[in-house]
Amino acid sequence: MPTIVRWYVKTALLYLALALGLGILLAAGIWRAALTPSYWHLFIVGWLTQLIFGIALWMLPSFTRERPRGNELLSWAVYVVLNAGLLLRAIAEPLRAVQVGAAALWGQALVISAILQWLAALGFVINAWPRVRGPRRKTRQGGA
């Protein structure tokens, strides 16, 4: 299993444990309004999306023999940007809900986190698209 895939999968497992830990707090009624959005983002983006990105990166058809997973630098950038956006959201969402400090500042942080996560998804699509586009058609040469 390639290194980048291991990072995606291990990080996804950490988010699963973290999300389920938050789930315990939610079930106990602790900070329910503040933690519910973070719980869902850690579970869906952190666990599921990240696991899907990692396994897809590993399992999709090879891009080329030299670069079987496409642009590896882009894969690492997607990993970093996705996790930066997710962690920013996991911090900003509850702080905005309880209005610690300036609520507008935390609202801006949520916008930035959403943009980071969108950029990560876009980077993943750009890197994966050539691997799933299907067989290339052969063109005829020298005639109609």
**131 contacts 63 by C-beta, under 8 angstroms:** yes
Question: What's the rounded mean pLDDT across residues 88-116?
Answer: 90
What range defines the domain where residue 70 resides? 3-132
* Residues 48, 72: Cα–Cα separation, whole Å: 21
Q: Is residue 143 part of a domain?
A: no
Q: Is residue 141 part of a domain?
A: no
Model confidence over 16-71: pLDDT tens digits? 999 999 999 999 998 898 899 999 999 999 999 999 999 999 998 787 778 878 89
Q: Is residue 140 part of a domain?
A: no
* Domain count within the chain: 1
